[in-house]
Amino acid sequence: TEKELRQAQKMEAIGTLAAGIAHDFNNILTSILGFTDMVLHKVPEGGVGRSEMQQVFISAQRAADLVRQILSFSRHSEQERKPVHLAGVIEEAFRLLRSSLPTSIAMVQEIDVPSDADKVLADPTQLHQVLMNLGTNAAHAMLPEGGTLTVSLRTVPAASPQLAPYPFLDRVDHLQLCVRDTGRGMESRILERIFDPYFTTKPAGEGTGLGLAVVQGIVKNHGGVIAVHSEPGAGTCFEVLLPAVSLEIQREEELPEQLLLGSE
């Protein structure tokens, strides 16, 4: 559609821009973060200029985060794909989120996939970013009251009705990753725009509006689809479907060479 085309062009433009400036920008930010951190260690709690320096640090961190998000638009070519245990990536992101979120947010992990059937062909760093972006959004939607963040993983077999809406997808087994929250949810006029680059409802300086655009880009690049269900006041559920690395292919790769020759 025309909207998708416009969106793709926007992403392309961001990518080109990013490749040019991100590297230098990163160096500058690293030095700002390093020096402010040094000052923060020297000035005692309540000391002159400490709270201002803390603000500098927080802003620089936000800028670094923005650069990281923008960079992922321009990484299409250099990404590295290998079979990745999705459960492992979830585990790691889960731990990171747990350590950074307040205790008013309960976290539940539901892995319902055999340990040899959770592989996807992917760039693990990008999958990690998908989980972190969805997870932090979910947490944000539940604050300050708190709530429950559920991350789940299950198998969706080829030809199952759930894959029917997507042409070609129903030919292979998929893995379904869900990030669900009990937060404020979204009205349809917001839902329509959440994947647009730079769309945010967060106050100026807090949101980049790039998180979900990046998530969608990564999922599409990996041959997957993303869907969202949301109910205002009740919560939101993001569903990511990714093609699984089939068990047959895994077995073939594991076969010793003699065996393969012997079976000719």
Q: How many residues bind ligand ADP (CB under 6 A)?
A: 22
Q: Distance of CA 238 to CAs 62, 107, 191, 219, Å?
A: 24, 16, 12, 12
Confirm or reject binding of residue 14 to ligand ADP (CB under 6 A).
no
Burial class (CB in 10 A: 0-12, 13-18, 19+), 253: exposed
Q: What ranges make up the beta strands (E) of the chain?
A: 82-85, 105-112, 119-122, 147-156, 174-181, 225-231, 235-243
Q: Give me the helices (H) in 199-256, please.
A: 211-221, 247-254
Confirm or reject binding of residue 137 to ligand ADP (CB under 6 A).
yes
End-to-end CA distance of the chain: 49
Structure tokens, 18: 């990013």
Minimum Å gap between C-beta 59 and ligand ADP is 15
Spatial contact of 61 and 33, defined as CB atoms under 8 Å apart: yes
Confirm or reject binding of residue 101 to ligand ADP (CB under 6 A).
no
Q: Among 67, 194, 219, 244, indicate the residue that binds ligand ADP (CB under 6 A).
A: 194
Within 40-99, the residues that bind ligand ADP by CB under 6 A are none
Spatial contact of 138 and 183, defined as CB atoms under 8 Å apart: yes
Q: Among 60, 67, 177, 186, indicate the residue that binds ligand ADP (CB under 6 A).
A: 186
Confirm or reject binding of residue 199 to ligand ADP (CB under 6 A).
yes
Q: Among 36, 71, 181, 241, indicate the residue that binds ligand ADP (CB under 6 A).
A: 181
| b (16+ CB within 10 A) / e for 148-163 | ebbbbbeebeeeeebb
Confirm or reject binding of residue 240 to ligand ADP (CB under 6 A).
no
List 149's β-bridge partners, or say none: 107, 181
Of residues 51 and 201, the one with the C-beta less far from ligand ADP? 201
Which part of the chain contacts ligand ADP (CB under 6 A), choosing from 40-48, 57-65, 151-159, 209-217?
209-217
Confirm or reject binding of residue 190 to ligand ADP (CB under 6 A).
yes
Confirm or reject binding of residue 141 to ligand ADP (CB under 6 A).
yes
Minimum Å gap between C-beta 234 and ligand ADP is 11
Confirm or reject binding of residue 207 to ligand ADP (CB under 6 A).
yes
Spatial contact of 74 and 15, defined as CB atoms under 8 Å apart: yes
Of residues 23 and 202, the one with the C-beta less far from ligand ADP? 202
Minimum Å gap between C-beta 116 and ligand ADP is 31
Confirm or reject binding of residue 183 to ligand ADP (CB under 6 A).
yes
Minimum Å gap between C-beta 114 and ligand ADP is 29
Q: How far is CA 16 from the centre of its chain?
A: 21
Q: Three-state DSSP class for 180?
A: strand
Q: Write out the residues near ligand ADP by the rule CB under 6 A.
A: 133, 137-138, 141, 181, 183-184, 186, 190, 194, 199-202, 207-213, 236
